[in-house]
């Protein structure tokens, strides 16, 4: 199991996260419940920042990809740690601003940013807008002209490097909906267009080759392609690109099939990128760009667990046994969306031997609502507390009210303390925006 110093069983075999027993958390906050280990989040951020400063001589930055987990509390943590962030909607921008985060340290991504979103970002003095479409250049330039500002922009490129991950989370394929292809000349066309705009300032070039990547060679290849592109920009325009943003996508441990990384292992991603970039600068003679990386999952993924209570147990003799929980695809869509796999324990019986193979089933009215299809566990009974690991990324952020279930609250824990980061929804919250038109009354 994915245990560590701040999340492991105590002497009684009960899971303790951030110094708080799982059973105490369930009693205080109920289930289903997202629990986030603040100490782990901080340790990863600090390690990433230290590594990029050490390996790239202080000329780099780490931006938290907040689509992985967005709420006021996480932005407050990023502010304290002097992190950058990336955001992908007006909602994330607003949440970050409302937490007190300095939005000038944010990168605004998106393959189809709405005009209203661009206007909102510019009005709030966003740091960098990452251009993802040729039409977006004129749209943003006109918005900036009306506001009398010059906006820093990057372009998102597609380097054509395919990481070996699920097809849904590969983002640098030639037919991806994201970014300008370098190979067919679209990226250079975008660069030339931006350089002609009076209200846009070319800040850098971005790429993001996918998610849940363990093959570090993919990042080396991407650096090679991106620095070739930077060199070509310099040759054609005489412009030295100030920044190279290599995105994120660093893989994390979900099951025994995945590597179990230490902080040093995680930092090796950045080390490899930095070393590859320095080699390329030396061999190709390009101007040294500022290096930015945008990890999300690797910062919050393993920090999170989700606690569930066991309800009905359905034993189809000789075929399958279902352990039914009080959550499901409304709080974790990833297994249904792209067959994501997880590990879990009975939180008060972590050290007990496995006795049976079961499937952990959600409560939604869908046959596909299975959180874990086959897992070996001690014998479970109604009322037992199940902890599913590595749910800190894309659990809460992709949650929904499907079947009119309430989105679970998020609790942060650190040094024996706990409190809500996101309070629980009520029935009133669920129906708050419902309306019965007069003609139906």
**Other C-beta atoms lying within 10 Å of the C-beta of residue 97:** 19
Active site residue 365: yes
Q: Which residue has the tokens 């994501």?
A: 340
Instruction: Report whether 312 contacts 323 (CB < 8 A).
Output: no
Question: Which tokens in the block code for residue 162?
Answer: 């395919």
Give the three-state DSSP class for 313: strand
Q: What residues contact 26, with CB distance under 8 A and at least 6 apart?
A: 33, 307, 309, 347, 385
Cα separation, 118 vs 397, whole angstroms: 22
Give the three-state DSSP class for 148: coil
Instruction: Report whether 84 contacts 64 (CB < 8 A).
Output: yes
Cα separation, 122 vs 124, whole angstroms: 5
Q: How far does CA 62 lie from the centroid of its chain?
A: 13
Question: ∠ at Cα 250 (166, 132), nearest 5°?
Answer: 75
Q: Which helix (H) or strand (E) holds 370?
A: strand 370-377
- In the set 45, 197, 267, 365, the catalytic residue is 365
Cα separation, 243 vs 364, whole angstroms: 46
Cα separation, 352 vs 345, whole angstroms: 10
Cα separation, 290 vs 276, whole angstroms: 14
Instruction: Report whether 195 contacts 237 (CB < 8 A).
Output: yes
Instruction: Report whether 151 contacts 145 (CB < 8 A).
Output: no
Rounded to 10°, the helix 38-55/72-80 angle is: 40
Question: Which tokens in the block code for residue 182?
Answer: 């370098």
Backbone angles phi, psi at 147, to 5 degrees: -95, -5
Q: Characterize the bridge pairing of strands 417-422 and 370-377.
A: unpaired
Cα separation, 121 vs 305, whole angstroms: 33
Q: What residues contact 430, with CB distance under 8 A and at least 6 apart?
A: 401, 404, 406
The catalytic site residues sit at: 365
């Amino acid at each position: 199991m994915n245990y560590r110093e701040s999340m492991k069983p105590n002497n009684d075999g009960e899971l303790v996260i951030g110094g708080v027993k799982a059973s105490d958390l369930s009693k205080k906050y109920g289930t289903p419940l997202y629990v986030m280990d603040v100490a782990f989040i901080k340790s990863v951020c600090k390690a990433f920042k230290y590594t990029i400063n050490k390996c790239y001589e202080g000329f780099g930055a780490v931006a938290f990809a907040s689509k992985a987990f967005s709420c006021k509390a996480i932005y407050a943590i990023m502010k304290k740690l002097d992190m950058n962030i990336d955001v992908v909607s007006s909602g994330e921008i607003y949440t970050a601003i409302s937490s007190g985060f300095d939005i000038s340290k944010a990168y605004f991504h998106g393959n189809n940013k709405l005009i209203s979103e661009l206007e909102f970002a510019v009005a709030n003095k966003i740091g960098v807008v990452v251009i993802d479409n040729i039409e977006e250049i004129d749209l943003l330039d006109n918005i900036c002209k009306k506001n009398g500002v010059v906006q820093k922009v990057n372009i998102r490129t597609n380097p054509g490097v395919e990481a070996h991950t699920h097809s849904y989370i590969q983002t640098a394929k030639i037919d991806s909906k994201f970014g300008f292809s370098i190979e067919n000349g679209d990226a250079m066309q975008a660069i030339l267009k931006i350089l002609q705009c009076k209200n846009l300032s070319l800040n850098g070039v971005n790429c993001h080759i996918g998610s849940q990547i363990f093959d570090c060679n993919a990042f080396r290849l991407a650096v090679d392609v991106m620095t070739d592109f930077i060199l070509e920009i310099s040759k054609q325009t005489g412009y030295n690109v100030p920044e190279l943003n290599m995105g994120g996508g660093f893989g994390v441990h979900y099951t025994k099939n995945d590597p179990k990384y230490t902080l040093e292992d995680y930092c090796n991603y950045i080390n490899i990128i930095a070393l590859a970039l320095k080699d390329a600068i030396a061999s190709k003679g390009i101007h040294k760009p500022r290096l930015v990386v945008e990890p999300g999952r690797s910062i919050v993924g393993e920090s999170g667990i989700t606690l569930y209570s066991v309800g009905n147990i359905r034993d189809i003799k000789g075929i399958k046994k279902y352990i039914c929980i009080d959550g499901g695809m409304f709080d974790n869509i990833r297994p249904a969306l792209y067959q994501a796999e997880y590990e879990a324990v009975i939180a008060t019986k972590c050290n007990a031997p496995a006795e049976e193979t079961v499937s952990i089933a959600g409560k939604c009215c869908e046959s596909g609502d299975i959180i874990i299809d086959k897992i070996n566990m001690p014998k479970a009974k109604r009322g037992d507390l199940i902890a599913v690991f590595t749910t800190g990324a894309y659990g809460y952020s992709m949650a929904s009210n499907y079947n009119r279930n309430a989105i679970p609250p998020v609790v942060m824990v650190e040094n024996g303390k706990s409190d809500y980061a996101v309070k629980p929804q009520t029935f009133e919250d669920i129906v708050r925006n419902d309306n019965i038109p007069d003609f139906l009354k």
